[in-house]
């Protein structure tokens, strides 16, 4: 019996809001037995990293960068001299994001997943944390059965061209 072909989906919006629906889909899939990885590239503040990822339903791994500070574009600031020395400087954010990407890439290429969610991937590329060519080449090598969902406000044209489905959330017409 042939295995269904996986889709590359993009959920994009110029405002926050696409991740909740995508996360719900990921949680539902895991609850039904799928192997799921959710990688959030710009959600710091929990000092997680691959070694401290959370598991839900025993099948959904939720991964964020190993940094105690916010990584999002509007939050990137060098700490003042009197701040807590345990809080990494913004220069460590790229390393934490690259660590999440390395682990995610390994899981994708190994074919261990049924669904992969890459939250704010395009923005991580836009900010220079991830190389666009490497991300595109990796996604082109994904196993045929794997569904991949990309979210975020910015998405490189090469990824948009690869998408089987693009969902754009908008406010007001």
Give me the residues paired with residue 54 across strands.
Answer: 62
DSSP 28-59: HHHHTT--EEEEESS--SS--TGGG-EEETTT
**What is the pLDDT, as a whole number, of residue 147?**
97
pLDDT tens sequence across 132-145: 999 999 999 999 99
Cross-sheet strand order for the sheet of 8-12? 54-56, 60-63, 36-40, 115-119, 147-151, 8-12, 165-168
* Residue % of the chain over a pLDDT of 90: 57
Domains of the chain, start order:
25-68+88-162 (3.40.50.300)
Picking from 34, 25, 61, 67, the residue whose alpha carbon sits closest to that of residue 49 is 67
pLDDT tens sequence across 111-132: 999 999 999 999 899 989 999 9
**What is the pLDDT, as a whole number, of residue 70?**
66
**What is the pLDDT, as a whole number, of residue 2?**
64
Residue 72 has pLDDT above 90, yes or no: no
pLDDT tens sequence across 25-68: 999 999 999 999 999 998 866 768 888 888 998 999 999 998 87
Give the total residue count for the chain.
173
User: Which pTM was predicted?
Assistant: 0.84
Residue 156 has pLDDT above 60, yes or no: yes
Residue 73 has pLDDT above 60, yes or no: no
- When pLDDT is cut at 50, 70 and 90, the band that residue 91 belongs to is low
**What is the pLDDT, as a whole number, of residue 80?**
39
* Residue % of the chain over a pLDDT of 70: 81
Q: Distance between CA 115 and CA 137 in Å, rounded?
A: 18
**What is the pLDDT, as a whole number, of residue 124?**
92
Compute the average pLDDT of residues 78-93. 46
């Amino acid at each position: 019996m042939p295995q269904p072909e996986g889709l590359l989906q993009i959920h994009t919006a110029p405002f926050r809001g696409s991740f909740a629906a995508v996360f719900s889909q990921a949680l539902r899939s895991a609850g039904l037995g799928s192997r799921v990885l959710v990688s959030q590239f710009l959600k710091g503040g929990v000092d997680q990293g691959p070694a401290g990822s959370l598991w839900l339903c025993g099948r959904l791994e939720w991964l964020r960068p190993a940094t105690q500070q916010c990584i999002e574009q509007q939050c990137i600031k060098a700490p003042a001299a009197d701040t807590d020395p345990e809080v990494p400087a913004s220069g460590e954010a790229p390393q934490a994001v690259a660590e999440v990407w390395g682990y995610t890439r390994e899981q994708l290429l190994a074919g261990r997943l049924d669904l992969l969610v890459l939250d704010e991937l395009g923005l991580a590329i836009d900010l220079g944390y991830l190389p666009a060519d490497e991300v595109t080449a990796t996604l082109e090598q994904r196993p045929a059965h794997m569904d991949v969902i990309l979210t975020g406000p910015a998405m490189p044209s090469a990824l948009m061209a690869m998408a089987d489905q693009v969902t754009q959330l908008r406010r007001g017409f």
